Structures are given as C-alpha cells and as structure tokens.
Structure 1
Amino acid sequence: MSSDLAQKMREIREVETSGRAEFAQLIGFNKKTVESIEQAGRAPKGEMLEAICKQWPKYTLWLMTGMTDETCGQISPDIERARSTLKKTGTDTD
C-alpha cells in the first residue's frame, strides 16, 4: 500500500532539490533510505518528517494535513511550482 507521506516527500524533493542525493544530504539521511521510502511507498518515520519540516518549514502544514494557508506562508509544492513558473515568465506581481 502506497503512503501519502512518501508521495508528499517525493513532491517536496522534486521541487526543492536536484535529486535524492541532495535531498538526503539536506535532511541528514542516507540516500538509500530516501530511495527505499519512495520506491516502497512506506511512510517516513517521525525523525525524517521532522527533518523535512525543519529544512522546508513552508511545507509543514501541507505535509502533515494536506492543507495549505498561503497567508501564513504554508504552501504545497504545486504552489511553489506555480510561483517559480510565474517568476521565470515575468508575470509575477512581486
């Protein structure tokens, strides 16, 4: 059975890093551990979730509940992708 948390972890990794090695290094875990969680669809343990939330606090609410609150800075990887796309095209309003 696939874990929603494993999928969310992967989405954060894809938006924020160049790959599993960089992601693992940034959160202080072994690349093989990250790979195993993603491929098996296992839920990451609390220590890993905590490390991800410390590294990228803007995803904490979404990672743990699936909800976002942009007014509080709590976003999802989809929102981050959209922001990045707007900045690249020069259509952002900042």
Structure 2
Amino acid sequence: MSKIIVMASFHPKKDKANEVKEIILSMIKPTRSEEGNELYNFYEEKNKDDKIISFHLFEIYKNSAALDFHRETTHYKDYRSKIEDLLEKPREVKVLNSIDSI
C-alpha cells in the first residue's frame, strides 16, 4: 500500500485569520498522535504587507485506512464543524497517492 499525502489550503475571511489558525493549531497534537499519521505540518502564507492570506496543511498517512481513521476522529469532525464559516471560499484539499517518495 502506498502512503497518502494530503495538501489542504484555507483562505480565511477578512479578520478571521487568527480564529482559523487557532482551530488548525488545535488539530496538531491529536492528529500527530494518531497511529497512522506520519507527518502533519502547518504553514502560513503572508502578503507583502505581512498579513496572513492563507494557511496550508501538508499531511502524510501510512495508508488510506489511516486517512479514513483520521476523518472519523472527534477532533477532525469538530474542526470541520467550526472552520467552514470562517473561510472566504471552500477549503482546497488534494489527496495524493505516493508513487515515488523518500
């Protein structure tokens, strides 16, 4: 089975960046403690005025079952219920299957 890579992008509404950031930060510890999670990194993108314009998650899971498990956790469902109304547009998520990676 190949590893599953998830890349997710979030574009917060004006003045909602801190709320979005806090919600995603609350996901880090419980997600990293999941048995099938191998990587869960959180990034922010700023404009030339040093204002946050988007957030990005880069995740690696052992296999598709590990990703399925993640999506059934309480912390994942809680984050999903809170974050959508704070975003300018729907979150962008790409789920990739590893072909050749280290």
Under a length normalisation based on structure 2, what TM-score does the superposition of the two structures give?
0.30
Higher helix share: 1
Higher strand share: 2
Greater relative contact order (Cα < 8 A, sep 6+): 2
Under a length normalisation based on structure 1, what TM-score does the superposition of the two structures give?
0.32
